[in-house]
Amino acid sequence: MANVIRRMAEGSSRLVERYLPDAFLFAILLSFVAYGLALAFVAPRGGTVTHAENILVDGWYGGFWGLLSFAMQMTLILMTGYALAQSSVVDDFLSRMASIPSSERSAAALVPVVAAVASFVHWGLGLVVGAIFARKIAEEIRTIDFPIIVAGAYSGFIVWHGGLAGSIPLVLNSTGDDNFLLASGVLNSTISTGQTIFTVANVAIFVVIGFIFLPLLFLLMYPESEAKKHPIDPAQLDTATDGGTEAVVAPSATNDDLTVAERIEHSSFVSYAIGLSGLLAVVGYFGRGIADGTMPWNNLNLNIVNFTFLFLGITLHGTPAAYIGAMKEGVENVWGIILQFPFYAGIMGIMGYAPEGSTSLATQIAQGMVHLSPDGTLPVVAFLTAGIVNVFVPSGGGEWAVVGETLVKAAHAGGTSVPRVAMAAAWGDAWTNMIQPFWAIPLLAISGLSVRDIMGYCVLVLLGSGLIISVGLLFLPM
């Protein structure tokens, strides 16, 4: 069994290394594919030339800047997660965890578990913690195969959309324009996270994937031959954290030559005052919810998660200067997202483009999948649909914006639980991230690797986890 899985992993890695393009080029190619599909399958308004121009201008350009606010929100999530992971408390904890494994194989099995737990708490934290933990493991065990443990770190990310910062369940629990299905009347009320994240099915899938499947798979995939391992040079580890540049060390706060302004920047009082004030606001937020009859686990949304991690990071770093330094490092790891997010927003614009009297490409995919599904299989169909669309729109919230209405209406029509279908879409979105390199960019920046170094292993994660998630969505109680 181990030999079969190991050979599959090695073969997959060889294929990926040969044919997978750079992450940015992948986005460019997807843009052309989406444009071609829309040109072929979306009913035109006017002649062929007009139709081609409308898709380019109204669809691609019209959507290109449509996710700027969401992109900023996602950037902040990643940066606050990175800054939190760089705090001494979290860093010391990861160092202690890295000293636990007694062998290369046990270390390879542990990395995805740590990354999965962190991703369940906060997807940005998961990407950063996974990458940093993989580096710490490599520092402890110099002979370990570095690409496979970085792949394990990214594989833990597969659980994020079933976690506390999952876009779809948090959007469904939001009010106002954030919950477009509620605003449009498709839903009559919000759906609490007690009906989505904190259900038997969702928690069970997370436990099986994060604590059983991933560690076992990476244990079996780990290279047996020394010749097939790729340990990282210790000198590379010293500079990889910032994507290959030396970290800038802030001047000591005890230096007598510090100006008044610099003393304030290195003041623990300032950091604790603002940090604890923010955390007090978090406590007040959840306290008001409890007073109104809403428990904390039913009152999560993207904004409160971001707010919490921001002020928790400020508090744990101890001084404004330390937190500023961590955020500066974090910026270096999000450039790929900043560059690529507009292109994926453009793809989303193409996928959602629909002139009067026609149906968008994304809706056609969702409707086609729903139409072909046998009775009782809508959750799995929603899972597969979201997985397909995620390749073109690797944004949980953005994807939900283009397929959510179709899936919820299908759930209503078929008498299927809307929360189950929504969580199926959430898991589908996370699932094909294993072959979509977009979210691997910050993790790769921290580890200093290429997407081709890890994606071959992630293909096997995709295949095995797909079966587990599908079974769980169909049969486990919500």
State how far the Cα of 191 lies from the Cα of 304, in Å rounded to an integer: 17
What pLDDT score does 303 carry? 78
CA distances from 138 to 110, 134, 224 (A): 13, 6, 17
CA distances from 281 to 177, 292, 300 (A): 23, 17, 14
Residue among 150, 131, 127 nearest 231 (CA): 150
State how far the Cα of 71 lies from the Cα of 53, in Å rounded to an integer: 26
Residues 111 and 137 sit within 8 Å (Cβ to Cβ): yes
What pLDDT score does 249 carry? 43
What pLDDT score does 239 carry? 47
What pLDDT score does 248 carry? 41
One-letter identity of residue 277: S
State how far the Cα of 267 lies from the Cα of 114, in Å rounded to an integer: 33
State how far the Cα of 343 lies from the Cα of 29, in Å rounded to an integer: 11
State how far the Cα of 406 lies from the Cα of 371, in Å rounded to an integer: 11
User: What is the biggest distance separating any 2 CA atoms in the chain, rounded to whole angstroms?
Assistant: 75
Q: pTM for this one? A: 0.86
One-letter identity of residue 459: V
Query: Tens-digit pLDDT profile for the chain (478 aa)?
Result: 667 888 888 899 888 888 888 888 999 999 999 999 999 999 887 788 999 999 999 999 999 988 788 778 778 877 888 888 889 998 899 899 999 999 999 999 999 999 999 999 888 888 888 998 999 999 899 999 999 999 999 999 999 999 988 889 988 988 777 788 888 888 989 898 899 999 999 999 999 999 999 999 999 999 988 888 888 875 665 544 434 344 444 445 455 677 888 888 889 999 999 999 999 999 999 999 899 887 776 676 667 878 998 999 999 999 999 999 999 888 887 888 888 889 988 998 999 899 888 999 988 998 898 887 777 789 999 999 999 999 998 888 878 888 899 999 999 988 899 999 999 999 999 999 999 988 898 888 888 888 999 999 999 999 999 999 999 999 998 8
Q: At CA 405, angle to CA 399 and CA 411, rounded to 5?
A: 115
